[in-house]
Amino acid sequence: MLKIGSHVSISGGLLGAAKEAYSYGASTFMIYTGAPQNTKRSPLENLKIKEGQAFMKAHGLSDIVIHAPYIINLASYKEETYNLGKEFLALELERTEAIGSNYLVLHPGSFTDKTYEYGVERIAAALNEVLTPETKPIICLETMAGKGKEIGRSFEELRDIIDRVELKDKIGICFDTCHVHDSGYDIVENLDEVFAEFDRIIGLDRLKVFHVNGSLNPRGAKKDRHANLGALEDNPKGKDHIGKEALYKLVHHPVAEGKPIILETPWLDKKTNLYKEEIAYLRGEEK
């Protein structure tokens, strides 16, 4: 059985999130602890954690994933941004644990006006400050698409960070199919080779979470725009350049076995998403 779900809203607390995920036929899900673009967070007491956990248990939902907000940039040279990022990351780790999740997904950061080396050192220093032997959740650095100055656009760049982290057992990787494709890896024709390369450079034991998305752009475009799985030209959000067959193969690959697989595919409009259909397709239940 695939452990599969989508990003869902936290606006109704963990209980609301779990109910939404269940309505899509999911067995796991991902949430931000508040708005992805800011650091405003409602207190944990308001998140209906106990009720959410009880609902999850009763409905076969587990191994959920938390995504840290985009505004954390641990590569920033601006003291204010950097310090805010570290403080907020420490709080996110606490919230992740309180919610009962083992995985906090984090975009490594962007080196903006500085150099790549500067950014990597800065990220690692921040992680070394925030992580303690008592930290329970694993920070999953996400593979990035390579737009702008973002770090993590290759397996080597992610390894450069991990190499500098002291508590390495607290670091994992979130493998985003849109990002990996956009950064140039051929997951359509050469998936086995991509996983083998990941294993050589990072080690597959670090791969903890998958984000499964199509891409609106050809391989290597470095854009990061998600597409619905196998979307054709007539999809309002645009055509998928990865294709649903490749993504189906990926989620059924032995490397993905037992790991949370999260859809971050676009909504067609304010009320319509395809999570239910996409989950059913990936499970192999599509008629």
92 binds, among Zn ion, Fe ion, none (CB under 5 to 8 A by kind): none
211 binds Fe ion (CB under 5 A): yes
Helix (H, G, I), strand (E, B) or coil at 258: coil
Cβ-based nearer residue to Zn ion, 55 or 210 = 210
Q: Do 116 and 159 form a contact (C-beta atoms < 8 A)?
A: no
Indicate whether 176 belongs to the interface with Fe ion (CB under 5 A): yes
Position of minimal CB gap to Zn ion: 224
- Which CB, 36 or 203, lies closer to Zn ion? 36
Helices 116-130 and 79-99 pack at an angle, to 10 degrees, of: 40
Q: Does 226 bind Fe ion (CB under 5 A)?
A: no
The least CB distance from residue 209 to Fe ion, in Å, is 9
Nearest approach in angstroms of CB 259 to Zn ion is 18
Q: What sign does the dihedral 68-74-76-77 (CA atoms) show?
A: positive
Q: How far apart are CA 178 and CA 176, in angstroms?
A: 6
Which chain residues interact with Zn ion by CB under 5 A?
224
| Piece of 42-50, 58-66, 126-134, 172-180 that binds Fe ion (CB under 5 A) | 172-180
Binding status of residue 63 toward Fe ion by CB under 5 A: no
Alpha helices in the chain (DSSP H): 13-23, 49-58, 79-99, 116-130, 155-164, 177-182, 191-201, 244-251, 275-283
Distance CA 107, CA 87 (A): 16
Distance CA 109, CA 81 (A): 11
Residue count of the chain? 287
If the CB atoms of residues 142 and 150 are measured against Fe ion, the closer one turns out to be 142
Does 7 help bind Fe ion (rule: CB under 5 A)?
A: no
Q: What track of x and - describes contact with Fe ion for positions 123 through 142 (by CB under 5 A)?
A: -------------------x
CB closer to Fe ion, 63 vs 176: 176
**Which residues form the interface with Fe ion (CB under 5 A)?**
142, 176, 211
